[in-house]
Amino acid sequence: MSYNARLIETRAMRSIVAIRFSHVTKKYRLYKNDRRRLASTFVPGVKYDEVLANNDLSFTIKRGESVAFLGHNGAGKSTALKIITGVTAPTTGTVEVHGRVSALLDLSAGFDARLTGRDNLKLRARLWGLSEPEITNLLPEIADFAEVGKYIDQPMRTYSAGMKARLGFAFASSLKPDILILDEVLSVGDRQFSQKSLARMQEIMSTEGVTLLFVTHALGSAEKFCKRALVIDHGRLQFDGPIDQGVSYYKKSTSAK
């Protein structure tokens, strides 16, 4: 597949724009089987189906905004967030990201099950670019927030789903990123922990200049945190505006189906 997209990434915090999508399209090619996919690397003309996960998507998010991405499962929200995070490449269009992105893209959150919680955190912090002393400072705070207790030195395969999610959230939210991306992370964990994470998010948002992108099906917490909503359906932008209108638009579109 040929990629014809432009990616502009800077750490320029003075830019008013944090993220800008201009006519971004992401195509996924679906082959009948692996053999055809492999063959398509070497010979042209192998048949495939095409899915447009993002279809001519354009929006601009300013620094310090908190935006909820609303839409049905498979609408293309997660794809857009993955493009912003930089783990997947858009097929066409231009993407601008200004600032460092910390993302919690799913609950297992890129932890290695065979490593201990502590080793995982150290590794992730190192990949993020923190220095050894910074990591040493940050680690107890993360472990404390995640309430994993003695499990911090146990391999992560022994963790419960809730513990993994808590550690993932604690890590992603402790990095002090310029742009924080949370993909359906508040749907797990007990009441007490979700209260705690809500408080943490409030704290992050009160920090000057942090941009928050938030995917959730919990419309209540979206309304609480975000001032703006983007409703996406079939990869296209359906609505862009204030959160209350966005939520009612989304509710209407759900009941219409």
Partner 1 sequence: MFKTLRIIIQDNWEWRSQILRLATTELRKEVHGTVLGWIWLLITPGIYLGVFWFGLAVGLRTGSPIDGVPYLVWLGAGIIPWFFISAMLSGGADVYRRYSYLVNRLRFPISAISSFYGLARLIVFLLTMILVFAIMALYRVPLTIYAVQFPVIVVVMYVFWTVWSMLTSPLSALSKDFGNLIRALSTPLFWLSGVLFQVNHLDSWWLRAFFAVNPITFFVKSIRASLCEDYWVWNEPNLIWPFVGVFFVMTLMALFIQNKLSLEVADVL
Instruction: List interacting residues with partner 1 (CB under 8 A).
Output: 1, 3, 28, 34-35, 37-38, 41, 82, 85-89, 101, 105-106, 108-112, 114-116, 119, 122-124, 126-127, 155
Strand order across the beta sheet in which 66-70 lies = 101-104, 179-183, 211-215, 66-70, 228-233, 236-242
Helices assigned H by DSSP within the chain: 34-42, 77-85, 117-128, 132-146, 161-174, 191-206, 219-225, 243-256
CB of 152 to partner 1, least distance (A): 14
User: Of 121 and 226, which CB lies nearer to partner 1 in the complex structure?
Assistant: 121
User: Of 135 and 198, which CB lies nearer to partner 1 in the complex structure?
Assistant: 135
User: Of 119 and 147, which CB lies nearer to partner 1 in the complex structure?
Assistant: 119
How many whole angstroms separate alpha carbon 253 and alpha carbon 255? 6
How many whole angstroms separate alpha carbon 123 and alpha carbon 80? 26
CB of 27 to partner 1, least distance (A): 9
User: Of 39 and 204, which CB lies nearer to partner 1 in the complex structure?
Assistant: 39
CB of 226 to partner 1, least distance (A): 24
Q: Which residues contact 100 (CB under 8 A, 6 or more apart)?
A: 11, 177, 178, 179
User: Of 81 and 148, which CB lies nearer to partner 1 in the complex structure?
Assistant: 81
CB of 163 to partner 1, least distance (A): 17
Between helices 117-128 and 161-174, what is the axis angle to 10°?
30
CB of 128 to partner 1, least distance (A): 9
